[in-house]
Structure 1
Amino acid sequence: MSNLTQTATNSLDFHEPEAWTILSVEDSQQYQDSLSFILRQHRVNGKPIKLLSAFNIASAADILRNTPNIAVILLDIVMEEDDSGIKFIKTIRETIGNHEARIIVLTGQPGMAPRDDLLQSLDIDNYCEKQEMSAPHLRSLITANIRNYQQIHRLNQAKLGLQIIINQTQNLNQLKQLQSFSDTVLDAISQLCQATDGGIVCAQTHLEDASSEIIATSGPLKHSPQTAARIVNEQSIQQLLEKARATGQHQFDGQRTLLYFNDSRMNLKSYFVIIISRVEISETVIALLQVFCENVRSGLVNVALFENLQRLAFKDSDLNIYNRNQLEQELRLALLNDIKHQALLLVQLKSYDELKSVFGYSMVLDSLRAIKVRLESLFGDSSVIARISRGVLAIITKPETIVNLDNICEALNQPYGETTKRRIGLRCMLYPLTHAKERSGDEVLADAELHLEVAKNRNLNAFCFHEKLRSDVKEQMLLSEALKEAIEQESLFLHYQPKFDLLSGTVIGFEALARWTRDDGTVVPPDQFISLAEKAGFIESLDALVFRQLIQFNKKLIQVQSGLQLSFNLSIQDLKQPSFIDELIEYAGASGSAGQNLVVEITESQAMLSFTEIEQALSKLRAHGFRISIDDFGTGYSSLSHLAQIPADVLKIDRMFVNKIKPNNQHYHLVEAIIKLGHQFNLDIVAEGIEHSYQAELLKALGCQYGQGYWFSKPLSERDALALLDHD
């Protein structure tokens, strides 16, 4: 079927057919005759059915090749071969590329091609069994599919018309001479209207009784200037021209169309285009012409069409203000002028996605419109306002208009709506352009957005840019790149902090802690580079590296002393990735560890925030021998029900409580409650951050079994950790 030509129309054809063409592909003469009888009197939108019959796939293909605008195909799914119909459907859609014709599959053997499978896998509209198909049902099915075809055909034609406009306006943008410009205009119009009888472009000065000058002609008129001149002077054309002058509008009158262009920048000239058509131009074509004429008008005033398209590209249609591209241009101009008297203010709608999800996009737009109106009220019409992303507006204004940023943010954040009185929820970031020396508009905007994100991370509602912040952000970016490289080169390493039995003083295990020393000897604190890895999106790679090194240490640990626990941290991002958990379990098993002495530590606050998302991962790890430890317990907000549900084995008391524990003080009783709670749930209790002997004694007296901290030992290198066991 590869030699078939595409039957979906490649040229504009908005004229309704005199009859709806239906192709019946059916090898039964009797069934074909029945279809013909049922449909011969049937009319859709007042038009009859033209039924074409094919008794095999080859003849059906031939009909498709030579017959345009087939609205509906009635296809027996089982033809010469069991899968002939299925192959033919794929040929129609994929090889021929006809996506307009509606396909109704008919079968007398439903078992040969199951209905659900076909409807899901193929682009068909209906699947019907012949024996269940009554004449009324068939006619209603045909009617519905013809109407679907009609809508799809019109839509495709409109798309094709818009594509013609886009292509031709690109051509017009390159043309500076009136003659070639006019020729291109006529060529485009002939494609849009199928005006085979030709067209004429005329110019006319605004002088009284001035005659019309023919600039260009097309079609048969191209070789008949006398005929063109006669048409221009016809009374009907002159009447249309007078009406166009009076109204300033294009005139559409049956088979005669006059497009009128008048502008004060046209050097005291007006232009009009006459279109001669054998049939009346449809409303869709009129709409397309209206669009195209706007581009033509811009070209006739010698304004590059590209600028016109740019105006479309530089406007936010939802809010009718500038968009990001235009703001970058405005920033560029501002930077060329006195930057001391210019400032950029970003206003962010908080929780954009949540608001859109809960209240809908219209409510979000209402919020943004309210912000825009208030910005205009606060800063005046002289300020430039733009929408630079989904939930962020920006304004270029004078710094002196923003005396107090907090007050501005509060004014913008006042409740709005006559009945709802909703607070919008905003974040403001001020960026004085004095900080933007030797920077382009897009660089300034990107810089401002980056610092708006800083404000978001710091949970600030009002935030003013300062130079140190830029250096801090740049330093973070460089550090992020260095961390990524360090992970790839596996230059991070582990230290191991021993855990002790508080009663016996013996080592019962270690916690693996990642360490990073840069090539220049700089030691980067773990809380800094771990947080950076989470934000930059490579925490999974970091944790995978930690786990590989931990497993190698564990092999040595088992040889020295069995039964020691080795704990390590996993992020919530890790636990949300089933593939990561599977790889971790597989790697542990392949190394001989099989999770038998490994403990996964997760923070309480993160676990509670994402409990439903990570519960399955924790249960899976536990099922493979891993133990689960709730880290930093007491700092989150777990309920007893959560604690009962989470598959945990160990509870770690946060160092904050240990550090402040004194006999019978508030923290003493909190720790006592945590220990009792842990025992009630049969959890091992580990206290972290023990730095003094009295802390160890108090914890031991309260029933805490295990502890770790600098009182016992700092985190040790692998060699020192193994040496500690030799002396234990």
Structure 2
Amino acid sequence: MTHDEFEFMEEPVAHHSDVDKADVWTILSVEDNPAYQQSLNFALSDLRYRGKKLQVLNANSRTSAATMISQHPEICIILLDVVMEEDDSGLRLVNTIREVLGNKMVRIVLLTGQPGMAPRQNIMEDYDIDDYWVKSKLNKENLQTIVYSNIRTWLHLRMLDEAQRGLQLIIEASQQLDQCRELPVFSDHVLATLGGLIGAAEGGIICARQSEQDEYTTGKILAASGKFSKLKKQQLDAIEPELHAQFEQLWQAKQHIFEDNRSLLYFPSTEFTGEAYLCMVCSEKPLTDQQIYMLQIFSENVQSNFKNIALFNRLSELAYMDPLLGVFNRNRLQRELNVLSSRHWYASELIVCSLEDFPSLYLTFGRDFINRCVSAVYTMLSDNLPGLMISARIGQDRLALLTNNTISIELPEQLSFQAVPVDGIDHRLPLRFGVVRLSSVSINNGEAAIHAAEHALELARKLNQTTYYFDSEVEQHAAQRVTQLTKLRQAIANRDFHIALQPKIEFATNKLASFEALARWTDSEGKMNPPDQFIGLAEQAGIIELLDIQIVELAFAAIIRLQQEGINVPVAINVSIRDLASKHYVEQLKQFPQKFDVSPTFIELEITETEAMKHYDQFIKVLSELKNLGYRVAIDDFGTGYSSLAHITELPAEVLKIDGSFVRNIGKTNSANHVIEMIMRLGNRFNFEVVAEGVETEEQKQLLREMGCHIGQGYLFARPMPLDDVIKWSKTNT
């Protein structure tokens, strides 16, 4: 051994547990030769790097080394003997370290006393080792170089790994922070991420909110961790003086402050809020430059999220709050009802109050006065309704109030007449109420509850009552109508309607005079829907024009088929005042004769007497134009309306149809006889053809003939029939 080689002395070295890990570099020597192990320990005992000593751990086998490595992640260098209990134990340990333990950073220096057992070139190519030395050539100078260079490399790798893990933590935290919408939850996430970045779990972190416009001491702690956990929700002026001074320093500086074991982070207010946010981070050890850099990166992200939360809260305020009263709006009320506990749901009532004549009041007095009226009504209701839990404004003129008491029938009546002060003057504003007990509505269905209360309000208005209490049966009927209307719209779109034809017969000869086309609808389930239901529903929904156009087309097609069978008689169709008011419908009537190549004289337009007289001025011109084109015009249900003699003489009609209610009572009541006799005189005087509908017996037929009526329609002759059956009937009965 030369003079510059290590002298291996058998002196003990300090056990690793006796030394503070933060003040040493940990090296593992894996060697099954105790003498060499002790000499190596001695040679390393006086080395220092960056002011820190070396701590040497010893293992004498592959198994003990693997265990020690897993227990000491701070090991930076492994001096590894190739040959131990087996010739390749050292090399197998390399694979265990890299592949099984997953330690890619620790520096592995392979030491061998027999180079032939592990050739350098092959080993460096096949194994993930960092250096290779033959023991006989390892002197003190080489050992010092090995230690210094590998510690330096390990330190750089660890810093890069920490930076990577820090960036990954920031990325993952940012994704979580982006989902936070509540400030306390967001603050907790910020603290957890800061603790992960710099190891502040024990030291603790504080996050506080402070208004830019108020005094510093008005701030409140939003979140805290570690030793500061007890400070959560306290005011800044209530915390210990040292911490208070730190926050005040940050408030004055209005920028981040980084100290050895304490970092102060400042997040200024945004355009959406006048509040700044302060964070104090206490770490167990001084922060590295890299950790400070990570904090700065994360702080930029936090500042953006503070801005996003402020924007979200502002949008939420606009989306869920009424700006006039500062109470919930319709959307928020629905959300609150959706999450109401079952106990409160079954014990509560929802009241909707409407300021009546709102459009007139608005036009007369203006928006500002009306807003003051709504505010005054809200105050009055809030003061007088017992058990009030939630208030909301769900329309310009409409308030909703949820109470946990049953409201007496008399209370809304009393409130509707109670004066409210507006601009110093008492006003008695017209109020109307709709009330629903939530137990009558599906639980946690806020939309249904609001709809039920509003439906009750509309019924109160329709019945001219101050208050109406929701009736589940009425609501069920309304729901059924909605379902039926949906089916009706689909049937119109699919052209699912057909017509049935009912004959009109000349009394004297029993010959066919004409037909009436009646709309029929069999839905997809095979159910026949009564015309008196779907016709009225179509009129209420404003889609009667679409239905009636299809019926007109079906009537023209039926005439073509009848004429092909040698049956040349007119077909009557029912026309509503809405149809005649529609330019599209009237234009279609004008085009259909040419489109179907059918003379309009074969189409008879039936309009009820009530509509004819009520809207006389609106449709007289249209009917005249259609009559001039060749269409026949009939007044249906004649005798039930209030026709004036002047209008009757001017009507562009050719047919009067006696309503079936008079035909049923002919010969039974004098009034029915008198009405029929009057109609016959009008027909004779003004040259109208008169048709009696609803003829069911021979007696009715005979009495009508005696009074001068020549044509009838009813079950006595035939029921309404499909077109194919009508053709068969016509060939055998006329």
**TM-score bracket for the superposition, by shorter chain length:** 0.5 to 0.7
Q: Match of 2:517, SS? A: strand
Q: Match of 1:513, SS? A: strand
Query: 1 CA distance for matches of 2:368 and 2:406?
Result: 34
Find the counterpart in structure 1 of residue 351 from structure 2.
345
Query: 1 CA distance for matches of 2:367 and 2:667?
Result: 55
Find the counterpart in structure 1 of residue 694 from structure 2.
689
Find the counterpart in structure 2 of residue 652 from structure 1.
657
Are 1:397 and 2:403 counterparts?
A: yes
Match of 2:216 among 204, 208, 218: 204
Query: 2 CA distance for matches of 1:518 and 1:260?
Result: 58
Match of 2:393 among 367, 387, 390: 387
Are 1:543 and 2:548 counterparts?
A: yes
**Structure 1 residue 485: deviation in Å?**
3.1
After TM superposition, the structure 1 stretch with the greater mean CA deviation from structure 2, 434-443 or 493-502, is: 434-443
**Structure 1 residue 480: deviation in Å?**
2.7
Structure 1: runs of 5+ lacking an equivalent: 1-169, 181-199, 223-258, 268-295
Match of 1:626 among 631, 642, 655: 631
Match of 1:587 among 584, 587, 592: 592
Q: Match of 1:334, SS? A: coil
**Structure 1 residue 601: deviation in Å?**
1.6
**Structure 1 residue 337: deviation in Å?**
4.4
**Structure 1 residue 321: deviation in Å?**
5.0
User: CA offsets per residue over residues 513-539 of structure 1, 9 Å max, x none?
Assistant: 111223443221111122222334432
The change in CA–CA distance for 1:423 and 1:605 in structure 2 (over 3 A counts) is: farther
Find the counterpart in structure 2 of residue 665 from structure 1.
670
Are 1:514 and 2:526 counterparts?
A: no
Find the counterpart in structure 1 of residue 340 from structure 2.
334
Structure 2: runs of 5+ lacking an equivalent: 1-177, 191-211, 219-236, 257-271, 280-302
After TM superposition, the structure 1 stretch with the greater mean CA deviation from structure 2, 544-553 or 355-364, is: 355-364
Q: Match of 2:216, SS? A: strand
Query: 2 CA distance for matches of 1:415 and 1:481?
Result: 43
Match of 1:524 among 513, 529, 538: 529
Are 1:485 and 2:490 counterparts?
A: yes
The change in CA–CA distance for 1:438 and 1:625 in structure 2 (over 3 A counts) is: same
The change in CA–CA distance for 1:201 and 1:409 in structure 2 (over 3 A counts) is: closer
Task: Determine if contact 1:496/1:513 at 8 Å carries over to the other structure.
Answer: yes
Task: Determine if contact 1:334/1:342 at 8 Å carries over to the other structure.
Answer: no
Q: Match of 1:574, SS? A: helix
Match of 1:534 among 539, 550, 553: 539
Match of 1:568 among 547, 569, 573: 573
**Structure 1 residue 568: deviation in Å?**
0.7
Task: Determine if contact 1:495/1:512 at 8 Å carries over to the other structure.
Answer: yes
The change in CA–CA distance for 1:173 and 1:342 in structure 2 (over 3 A counts) is: closer
Q: Match of 2:388, SS? A: coil
Match of 2:450 among 425, 445, 449: 445
Match of 2:470 among 451, 465, 474: 465
The change in CA–CA distance for 1:447 and 1:560 in structure 2 (over 3 A counts) is: same
**Structure 1 residue 417: deviation in Å?**
9.2
Q: Match of 2:561, SS? A: helix
Find the counterpart in structure 1 of residue 559 from structure 2.
554
Q: Report the residue type matching 2:529 in the other structure.
A: V
The change in CA–CA distance for 1:475 and 1:594 in structure 2 (over 3 A counts) is: same
Task: Determine if contact 2:182/2:309 at 8 Å carries over to the other structure.
Answer: no
**Structure 1 residue 648: deviation in Å?**
2.9
User: CA offsets per residue over residues 434-457 of structure 1, 9 Å max, x none?
Assistant: 133444323432455466667777
Q: Report the residue type matching 2:400 in the other structure.
A: A
Task: Determine if contact 1:540/1:574 at 8 Å carries over to the other structure.
Answer: yes
The change in CA–CA distance for 1:676 and 1:387 in structure 2 (over 3 A counts) is: farther
Query: 2 CA distance for matches of 1:524 and 1:651?
Result: 29
**Structure 1 residue 665: deviation in Å?**
1.7
The change in CA–CA distance for 1:687 and 1:509 in structure 2 (over 3 A counts) is: same
Query: 2 CA distance for matches of 1:587 and 1:697?
Result: 39
Matches within 5 A, 1:28-427: 204-205=216-217, 213=250, 304-317=310-323, 321-335=327-341, 337-348=343-354, 372=378, 375-376=381-382, 378-380=384-386, 382-398=388-404, 400-401=406-407, 403-404=408-409, 407=410, 410-411=413-414, 414=417, 424=430, 426=432
Task: Determine if contact 2:338/2:446 at 8 Å carries over to the other structure.
Answer: yes
The change in CA–CA distance for 1:704 and 1:354 in structure 2 (over 3 A counts) is: farther
User: CA offsets per residue over residues 89-109 of structure 1, 9 Å max, x none?
Assistant: xxxxxxxxxxxxxxxxxxxxx
Identical amino acids, percent of aligned pairs: 30
Query: 2 CA distance for matches of 1:680 and 1:370?
Result: 66
Q: What's the TM-score, normalizing by structure 1?
A: 0.54
Query: 2 CA distance for matches of 1:697 and 1:359?
Result: 67
**Structure 1 residue 620: deviation in Å?**
3.1
Aligned residues: 468
Query: 2 CA distance for matches of 1:665 and 1:393?
Result: 56
User: CA offsets per residue over residues 671-696 of structure 1, 9 Å max, x none?
Assistant: 33344345544433222222233333
**Structure 1 residue 496: deviation in Å?**
0.8
Find the counterpart in structure 1 of residue 44 from structure 2.
none
User: CA offsets per residue over residues 521-575 of structure 1, 9 Å max, x none?
Assistant: 3221111122222334432332222122111111133345566221111233322
**Structure 1 residue 508: deviation in Å?**
1.1
Query: 1 CA distance for matches of 2:368 and 2:609?
Result: 38
Q: Match of 2:721, SS? A: coil
User: CA offsets per residue over residues 607-657 of structure 1, 9 Å max, x none?
Assistant: 444444444433332232112222223434454455455533322232233
Q: Report the residue type matching 1:484 in the other structure.
A: R
Q: Report the residue type matching 1:326 in the other structure.
A: R
Are 1:436 and 2:441 counterparts?
A: yes
After TM superposition, the structure 1 stretch with the greater mean CA deviation from structure 2, 576-585 or 497-506, is: 497-506
Q: Match of 1:400, SS? A: coil
The change in CA–CA distance for 1:439 and 1:261 in structure 2 (over 3 A counts) is: closer
Q: Match of 1:630, SS? A: strand
